[in-house]
């Protein structure tokens, strides 16, 4: 199938838009709450809900709409099975820390379940077994090691060869009692419960900076509000203090969805092994069933022909499930820390009232939920047994081979971007439907020619820290290879950490 439209997420298409007002300082002058939460994804909304339940007043300040960031573009498996992770956590961090990781993620699943039950959240929640399957003998050894490690840390793990997949697999690690849901239905329900009795949820309100103080000042494009404490839950923190952009890296991943008959649909949630693994789950859409196929991950900004990534997933669906028509396709990115453990805690050692949560490693349904739970305890000064494991100020393994390579990549991009010539210099070089980097009168320009032939030109220099953006042909966006900021063809921010749009450039 050839898509003419831009990718769009099933989770967002199937839920109502514009549920909350923007922050209007003229209606709420000098607004002050106990805790301001910047970013309304799963981490921010979970923290806000916990704090509200603890009797705090909160204000969630969301640049776009609740649950339309990464959380609106996920596969939404709610599981402590984070691909193959426990064998390496036991090896790298030791059994005690690996146990805490497992326990905290299982507690996050229990938290989601508890709210779904007690608050009657209609979000297609269902209990499922999660599987990581191996198709190659060398992957089977890793799967067996994972079963052993997961059992050691107390997880409900077992080895199985009994899978409901329509192709042969050698074996899998199964985690019982995991779950899946519709992430935006879940978040919208919670957000509606948050927004009353002196607490607020604001959409379409971008925060540009936060000043620590008594109280803290939250500066938005629309005006300022004030809070005793501030949580930065913007996926990658928008504040540069703490250097989280250098302690983690953004990874993009893709999903296609198509109708599948119930007889043909796999039961459970699956993810493969090896470099070109696929992630599978089903979800109801009215009275039909959709199969989600995910994968094709890469570092943000490193791939221009992203349309090919969707095509590869469709080819997999065709070969493995006989699917020819796809209803949805979308993609997004998440932040990976270099030791595979999220950062949750104070922004920097000098901050006492600003907290962050990031680095969910493409497993934020549980990691983001536990982040919200932990942040809520930290703000209230409560002891939490997970605090040390996730401490945002822990010594970061900057010098692992992965981190060194990622940071070198960023350095190379930054220096290389400056030296490289962006040699084309005429708007005429930009063909219809494509984006191109140009140098015009010494200025680096990112130009896109739409289907009507009109050119949209913006500065090619990312407003975060000055790298040069790259074209993304499926999403028609400009993506920054350094820390993952993304912009549309008019320069509008699609994804942080940038807080300022790309400058628009007039072309004659
Ligand atoms: C393709 C894909 C598949 C995935 N599948 C799974 C899965 O099956 N299971 C799983 O557990 N995890 C999965 N993940 C990971 C999971 O989706 C993420 O870890 C999680 O959604 C991140 O949540 P968040 O709250 O950090 O970010 P977000 O949901 O992005 O929330 C951050 C919010 O902050 C807002 N914001 C940004 N800047 C500002 C600003 N300046 N002012 C105000 N607001 C701002 C954004 O608009 C956004 O709404 C997947 C990720 C991807 C990309
Ligand atoms: S995202 Fe950091 S320089 Fe672009």
DSSP 481: T
Per-position DSSP letters for 342-401, written without gaps between them: -EEEESSTT-SSEEEEE--TT-HHHHHHHHHHHHHHHHTT---TTHHHHBTTSPP-TTSH
Band (502; pLDDT cuts 50, 70, 90)? very high
Band (302; pLDDT cuts 50, 70, 90)? confident
Q: What is the mean pLDDT of residues 193-218?
A: 98
Q: Is the distance from CB of 507 to CB of 494 less than 8 angstroms?
A: no
Torsion angles phi and psi, residue 98, rounded to 5: -60, -35
Ligand 1 mean position, distance from CA 253 (Å): 12
- Least Cα distance to 368 among 86, 12, 48, 93 occurs for 48
Sort 343 into a burial class: Cβ within 10 Å, 0-12 / 13-18 / 19+.
buried
Query: Strand locations in 140-241, DSSP E?
Result: 157-160, 171-180, 200-202, 207-211, 216-220, 223-232
Kindly report the length of the chain.
508
pLDDT at 2: 42
What are the pLDDT digits (tens) for 330-366? 999 999 999 999 999 999 999 999 999 999 999 999 9
Is pLDDT of 399 > 80?
A: no
What are the pLDDT digits (tens) for 84-130? 999 999 999 999 999 999 999 999 999 999 999 999 999 999 999 99
The mean-pLDDT minimum among 221-230, 312-321, 414-423, 472-481 falls in: 414-423
The model's pTM: 0.95
Q: Is 43 in the pocket of ligand 1 (CB under 6 A)?
A: yes
Fold exhibited by the domain 124-178+249-335: D-Amino Acid Oxidase; Chain A, domain 2 (3.30.9)
Residue 35, Cα to own-chain centre: how many angstroms? 23
What are the pLDDT digits (tens) for 35-44? 999 999 999 9
Structural element, H or E, at residue 255 = strand 248-259
Both tokens of 311, joined, read 């095509």
Which atom of ligand 1 is nearest to 499's Cα?
Answer: 41
What are the pLDDT digits (tens) for 371-397? 999 999 999 999 999 999 999 999 876
What CA–CA distance (Å, rounded) separates 235 from 219?
18
Residue 365: C-alpha distances to residues 191, 297, 368, 373 (Å): 16, 18, 5, 12
What CA–CA distance (Å, rounded) separates 288 from 312?
24
- Least Cα distance to 499 among 239, 252, 271, 258 occurs for 239
Is pLDDT of 428 > 90?
A: no
Find the residues whose C-beta lies inside 6 A of ligand 2: 245, 462, 464-467, 480, 482-485, 497-498
- Least Cα distance to 72 among 270, 281, 279, 255 occurs for 255
- Least Cα distance to 340 among 508, 97, 121, 149 occurs for 97
Which atom of ligand 2 is nearest to 465's Cα?
Answer: 3
Query: Strand locations in 367-483, DSSP E?
Result: 435-440, 443-449, 455-459, 470-472, 477-479
148: helix, coil or strand?
A: helix
Band (426; pLDDT cuts 50, 70, 90)? confident
Ligand 2 mean position, distance from CA 462 (Å): 6
Cα R_g (the chain), whole angstroms? 22
Q: Whose CA is nearest to atom 20 of ligand 1?
A: 364
pLDDT at 425: 77
Q: Which CATH class is domain 418-505?
A: mainly beta
What CA–CA distance (Å, rounded) separates 330 from 290?
14
What ranges in 424-480 are assigned the alpha helix state H? none
Average predicted confidence (pLDDT) for the chain: 94
Ligand 1 mean position, distance from CA 344 (Å): 15
Would the CATH topology of 124-178+249-335 be identical to that of 418-505?
no
What CA–CA distance (Å, rounded) separates 262 from 264?
5
The mean-pLDDT minimum among 58-67, 350-359, 399-408 falls in: 399-408
253: helix, coil or strand?
A: strand
Which atom of ligand 2 is nearest to 245's Cα?
Answer: 2
Both tokens of 37, joined, read 């939460």
Which atom of ligand 2 is nearest to 484's Cα?
Answer: 1
Torsion angles phi and psi, residue 319, rounded to 5: -70, -40
Both tokens of 298, joined, read 């890469």
Q: Is 239 in the pocket of ligand 1 (CB under 6 A)?
A: no
116: helix, coil or strand?
A: helix
Which positions ≥6 away from 86 have C-beta within 8 Å?
A: 98, 101, 102, 146, 149, 150, 152, 153, 155
Q: What are the residue ranges spanned by the domains of the chain?
A: 124-178+249-335, 418-505
What does the longest C-alpha to C-alpha distance in the chain come to?
A: 66
What CA–CA distance (Å, rounded) separates 374 from 377?
5
Test site for ligand 2: of 239, 498, 501, most ligand atoms within 8 A of the Cβ:
498
Q: Is the distance from CB of 31 to CB of 25 less than 8 angstroms?
A: yes
Q: Whose CA is nearest to atom 1 of ligand 2?
A: 483
Q: Calculate the dihedral angle through the C-alpha atoms of 473, 477, 482, 484, rounding to the nearest 10 degrees.
A: -110
Ligand 1 mean position, distance from CA 391 (Å): 20
Q: Whose CA is nearest to atom 3 of ligand 2?
A: 465
What are the pLDDT digits (tens) for 137-168? 999 999 999 999 999 999 999 999 999 999 99
The three-state DSSP-derived secondary structure of 56-99 is CCEEEECCCCCCCCHHHHCCCEECCCCCCCHHHHHHHHCHHHHH
- Least Cα distance to 481 among 402, 420, 412 occurs for 412
Torsion angles phi and psi, residue 369, rounded to 5: -65, -45
Band (420; pLDDT cuts 50, 70, 90)? low
């Amino acid at each position: 199938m050839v898509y003419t439209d831009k990718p769009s997420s099933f989770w967002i298409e199937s839920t109502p838009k514009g549920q909350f007002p923007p922050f209007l300082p003229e209606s709420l002058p000098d607004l002050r709450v106990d805790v301001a939460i910047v970013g309304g994804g799963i981490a921010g909304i979970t923290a806000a809900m916990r704090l509200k339940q603890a009797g705090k007043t909160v204000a969630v300040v969301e640049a776009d709409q609740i649950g339309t960031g990464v959380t609106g573009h996920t596969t939404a498996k709610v599981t402590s099975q984070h691909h193959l992770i426990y064998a390496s956590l036991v090896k790298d961090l030791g059994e005690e820390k690996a146990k805490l990781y497992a326990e905290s993620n299982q507690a996050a699943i229990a938290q989601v379940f508890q709210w779904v039950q007690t608050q009657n959240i209609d979000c297609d929640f269902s209990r499922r077994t999660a599987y990581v399957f191996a198709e190659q003998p060398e992957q089977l050894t890793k799967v067996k090691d994972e079963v052993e490690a997961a059992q050691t840390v107390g997880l409900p793990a077992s080895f199985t060869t009994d899978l409901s997949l329509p192709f042969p697999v050698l074996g899998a690690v199964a985690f019982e009692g995991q779950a899946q849901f519709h992430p935006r239905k879940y978040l919208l329900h919670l957000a509606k419960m948050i927004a009353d009795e002196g607490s607020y949820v604001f959409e379409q309100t971008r925060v540009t900076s936060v000043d620590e103080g008594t109280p803290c000042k939250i500066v938005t494009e629309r005006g300022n509000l004030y809070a005793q404490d501030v949580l930065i839950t913007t996926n990658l923190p928008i504040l540069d203090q703490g250097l989280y952009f250098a302690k983690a890296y953004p990874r993009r991943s893709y999903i296609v969805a198509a109708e599948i008959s119930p007889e043909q649909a796999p039961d459970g949630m699956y993810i493969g092994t090896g470099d070109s693994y696929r992630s599978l789950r089903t979800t109801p859409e009215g009275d039909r069933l959709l199969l989600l196929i995910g994968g094709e991950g890469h570092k943000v900004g490193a791939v221009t022909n992203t349309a090919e990534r969707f095509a590869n997933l469709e080819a997999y669906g065709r070969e493995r499930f006989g699917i020819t028509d796809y209803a949805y396709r979308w993609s997004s990115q998440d932040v990976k820390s270099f030791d595979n453990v999220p950062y949750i805690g104070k922004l920097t050692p000098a901050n006492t009232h600003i907290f962050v949560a990031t680095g969910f490693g493409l497993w934020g349904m549980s990691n983001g939920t536990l982040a919200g739970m932990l942040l809520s305890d930290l703000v209230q000064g409560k002891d939490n047994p997970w605090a040390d494991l996730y401490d945002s100020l822990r010594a970061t393994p900057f010098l692992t081979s992965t981190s060194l390579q990622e940071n070198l990549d960023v350095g190379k991009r930054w220096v290389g971007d400056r030296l490289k010539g962006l040699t084309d210099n005429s708007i005429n070089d930009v063909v219809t439907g494509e984006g191109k980097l140009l140098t015009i009168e010494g200025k680096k320009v990112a130009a896109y020619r739409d289907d009507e032939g009109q050119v949209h030109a913006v500065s090619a220099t990312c407003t975060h820290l000055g790298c040069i953006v790259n074209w993304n042909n499926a999403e028609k966006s400009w993506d920054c290879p350094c820390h993952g900021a993304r912009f549309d063809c008019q320069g509008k921010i699609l994804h942080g950490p940038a807080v300022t749009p790309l400058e628009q450039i007039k072309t004659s």
